[in-house]
Every structure is written in structure tokens, then in C-alpha cells.
Amino acid sequence: MVIIKNKRTKKENILKEYPDAMIFDVTSKGEYKTLSPFYPHGGIPIPFSGTVTSACVEGIWQGLKVFQNEGIDFSCFNNRTMKDLKRTVRTHGKCLGHQKGLGSKELLGYLTARKEIYVPSYNWMLEHKCQKEIEYFLSLLREGKTIVFLDYDTNEDIDNPSKPLSHASLIKKYLLSQMCP
């Protein structure tokens, strides 16, 4: 079983609900920060952009955003600091969408971009950059362990645009797909 909880939840409260759970912080500040979309693995393909890559998944997500006052930001793709990646409406004006790759003028709406840019990029990262972590979690699941992932966002519904999608939910989905291919 894989559970997603907010990072701010007290561990003793999680353990009351799931007494034998193994708890893993997958945020950019946690012990498993390599699973954070901010982690600079390098070489992550930018969807719809040929062979061009980004240092991290969040760099792709933020870099392809197009705002009222600013287009895509190439510097996001090379940011390896895990900081200063967020591009907000306060600074750049209204977000118009995400550009569908570097060579396109097509803008994708939020949910479409989530499904065609963020999720494929994150899954690529899991598949190609995080196999050691994935194999460890799979071994725990095969032993019948309960895993709790701590994330700042807990939205597991890809179709719910009112809250950011939990990247921990993508780890969960990936793991469960590997258990029952």
C-alpha cells in the first residue's frame, strides 16, 4: 500500500493511522530529494523539443510557461540549484499557458500541459534517473510494507486543476504500475 501525506503531518499521527508504515520524505528538502521534480539529474528530455534536455522536471514545467509579459525562459532548463525556478503571475503577468516545446507557438492549457509535459517528463525521470530508489520501494511493496510518501501537495487527481499535482502521487502510480504490469 502507498499513501500520500502532507509533509507537515506529524509522523506520530501517521504512525497512529498506519502503525507499520515506512515514511519517506520525497520533497526537495527530504532524504529522498532525488525524487523531487526540482532535483537536477540532468539530461531530461523536454517534450516536443527533439534532443534538447533540461536539468530537472521543474525546469521544464517553469521554462515552458508563457506569460502575458514574458515568453518561455531558457535559463530554467539549465538551473541546477533547486532554487529560483518558480515563475509566477505576480512577476510576469497572467499565465497564458505552456508552450508545446521549444519550436512551437502552440500553447497548451493547464491540464493538457500537465498531461503532455509534466507527467511524461516526471515519469521519464523515474524510469531513467531514479531506478535505484524505485527498486527499493518495489522491494518494500513486495514484502507487504506500507509506504507513506511525504509531499507538500497531496492532490492525486490529475484532472483537478484547483490544486498542484502531487509528484508523490506520480511515484505511487508508477510503483503500482510496476507491481501489476
Tell me which residue has cell 502521487: 169
- pLDDT, averaged across the chain: 95
Q: What is the pLDDT of residues 24-52, one digit of tens each?
A: 999 999 999 999 999 999 999 999 999 99
Cα→Cα distances 103→47, 94, 109, Å: 11, 22, 17
Got the DSSP string for 81-102?
Answer: SSSS----HHHH-SEEEEESST
pLDDT at 119: 98
Q: What is the pLDDT of residues 89-145, one digit of tens each?
A: 788 889 999 999 999 999 999 999 999 999 999 999 999 999 999 999 999 999 999
Q: What is the pLDDT of residues 148-180, one digit of tens each?
A: 999 999 999 999 999 999 999 999 999 999 986
Number of other residues whose CB lies within 10 A of the CB of residue 181: 4
